[in-house]
Amino acid sequence: MTILEKAQLWLSDTFDADTQQEIKQLIDTDENTLADSFYKDMEFGTGGMRGIMGAGTNRINKYTLGKATQGLANYLIQTLPNKQLSVVIAFDCRHNSQLFAKVVADVLSANNIKVYLFEDLRPTPELSFAVKHLGCDAGIVLTASHNPPEYNGYKVYWGDGGQIVPPHDNKIIDEVNSLEFSEINFNANEDLIEVIGKEVDDAFVNASVKNVAFNTAGKENLKIVFTSLHGTSIVSVPDALEKAGYPDVHIVEEQRVPNGDFPTVASPNPEEPAALKMATDLAEKINADIVIGTDPDCDRLGIAVRDLEGNMKLLNGNQTMCLMTNFLIKKWEEAGKLNGKQFVGSTIVSTNLVNEIAASYGVETKVGLTGFKWIAKMVREAEGTQDFIGGGEESFGYMVGDFVRDKDAVTATVLACEIAADAKAKGSSMYQELLQIYVDNNFYKEHLISLVKKGMDGAQQIAQMMVDLRENPVTEIDGSKVNFVYDYEASTKTDLLKNTVETIDIPKSNVLIYETLEGTKVAARPSGTEPKIKFYFSVRGELCCIEKAKEVEAELDAKVQRIIKEMELS
């Protein structure tokens, strides 16, 4: 079927007048946008959907969302028969999120499923919490995380509060793909839709604070700057910090009001220093100790602290997760709760320093694919046999305990402040604590490059890059022989020096990792939610003392740049 033929199907009575009008206009005036809107179907993948809003099969709209929801409803009814099913729905600050949330609620209620719908925007981790708190069978959040303003998306959670994983994910996908748009039931049963708000908010914030409140000294002396970057965290984070006992919190007022256009930033991504500039400027003005910013759906956070010279320095996600993991394990040890039955969670592209930290306390590190749904799966599978302390990944997310089964910037914000207050009370700083971790273990330096390749051509280029890396493997990186090649799509770990191959017992994913004899790692991974291919670099060296930190860091930075140049990625 040609693109034009696919588009003309959307001129039928299955679609409303506004949609038909938008399609007619594309057919008449915009061949390129028409092609991008219909050249493929919006994939309901294992993490849900994320894409540009508009009419068409490759767009986020009431019909692609309706089809996904009808498929989910069908699967829930088949899998959990003879019970009153229930689903909780949340949404973020993006354009149409509230409208889309109501469409999704309508479809579920039309299928005789009870719906709990948040009254207004809420952080994504609160949705994860609400699934378990309300005893629901599933949860849905309308969000596109930190994507540009033209995007929206849809994530599905199972009854344990974690995002869907095997076997449910592929079965739901099959159900969605088997449907025609004409089979969506949009006829809402309003009696089955219940609006929720404050009761769940209070329970979530109380649980969040309870999980990271350690009676830390010096809270009143910690000066905090916080920005919600126009997102959902404004409804939860200030409340959580107040309940945790932090009186000196300064909010970036220009970014306080939720706004799907994110008017003060080029990208609402706390991984990028530019996104936190207003916050760090305010911190310099008032001499704050710590800056924290969250992304629009409040599952990731960026942290800036003062370095040894007193300048604000943005920590990367690996550094944050190392600080948080080390602090939490230490608190468990002080409380006499470590008995060899605890674990922390990490991912295949995150720093190995977390593994070293955990091992130094006799704690296991479980490593899964990128994405917190895999850490949530670890927690579920360990129930009754092991305690989960915390887990994170390099992309600025962290999760504490098992009351939430997704990355959670509300709880992580409070935890970051606990670490900073504790350090300050001891005459140290959060940054000094990080450097001490490097002294105690190894100095790890990570770097990320994202190559953006948009549209049909971009998708083909990304695919070809992965083919080339597999068919012509790198054998040496910066003068060190590649020892292991991990191919998560083929589920193989190849020892190039011994010429042996082992099977990797992790679900398949399009990720390739090279590891050298001296511990350098380079990973390649196409993004599942954005038109990007990501390259992750990790190098390490010994640090004898904090005073030598700048010198060692400069050496490691130079090493990363040599590798980037060597691989022709600059």
End-to-end CA distance of the chain: 40
Q: What CA–CA distance (Å, rounded) separates 401 from 418?
A: 16
Catalytic residue among 86, 145, 350, 395: 145
Of the pLDDT bands very low, low, confident and very high (cuts 50, 70, 90), residue 458 is confident
Count of residues making up the chain? 570
129 pLDDT above the threshold of 90? yes
| Residue 145 bears catalytic tag | yes
Structure token digits, residue 252: 């970036």
302 pLDDT above the threshold of 70? yes
Topology of domain 443-567, per CATH? TATA-Binding Protein (3.30.310)
Q: How high is the pLDDT of residue 529?
A: 66
Q: How high is the pLDDT of residue 453?
A: 85
For 166-195, what is each residue's pLDDT tens digit? 899 999 999 999 999 999 999 999 999 999
For 531-563, what is each residue's pLDDT tens digit? 899 999 999 999 999 999 999 999 999 999 999
Enter the CATH code of domain 318-440. Answer: 3.40.120.10
Burial of 189 from C-beta contacts in 10 A (0-12 / 13-18 / 19+): middle
Of the pLDDT bands very low, low, confident and very high (cuts 50, 70, 90), residue 530 is confident
Q: What CA–CA distance (Å, rounded) separates 404 from 388?
A: 12
Q: What CA–CA distance (Å, rounded) separates 316 from 302?
A: 8
Q: What CA–CA distance (Å, rounded) separates 547 from 399?
A: 32
The reply to whether CATH 3.40.120.10 applies to domain 40-186 is yes
68 pLDDT above the threshold of 80? yes
- Neighbour count for residue 4 (Cβ, 10 Å): 12
Domain boundary assignment for the chain: 40-186, 203-210+222-313, 318-440, 443-567
199 pLDDT above the threshold of 70? yes
Average pLDDT, the chain: 95
Those residues with Cβ within 8 angstroms of residue 116's Cβ, 6 or more apart along the chain or in another chain: 86, 87, 88, 89, 130, 134, 136, 194, 196
Please indicate whether the domains covering 318-440 and 443-567 agree at the CATH topology level.
Answer: no
43 pLDDT above the threshold of 90? no
Enter the CATH code of domain 203-210+222-313. Answer: 3.40.120.10
Q: What is the mean pLDDT of residues 485-499?
A: 95
Distances (CA, A) of 178 to 44, 50, 183: 12, 20, 10
pTM: 0.95
Burial 316-350 (b: 16+ CB within 10 A, else e): bbbbbbbbbbbbbbebbeeeeebeeebbbbbbbbb
Scan for tokens 């057919």, then name that residue: 27
Q: What is the mean pLDDT of residues 244-271?
A: 97
Read off φ and ψ for residue 450, nearest 5 degrees. -115, 120
Q: What percent of the chain has pLDDT over 70?
A: 100
For 380-431, what is each residue's pLDDT tens digit? 999 999 999 999 999 999 999 999 999 999 999 999 999 999 999 999 999 9
Q: How high is the pLDDT of residue 33?
A: 94
For 263-401, where are the alpha helices, taking DSSP H only? 277-286, 317-334, 353-360, 372-382
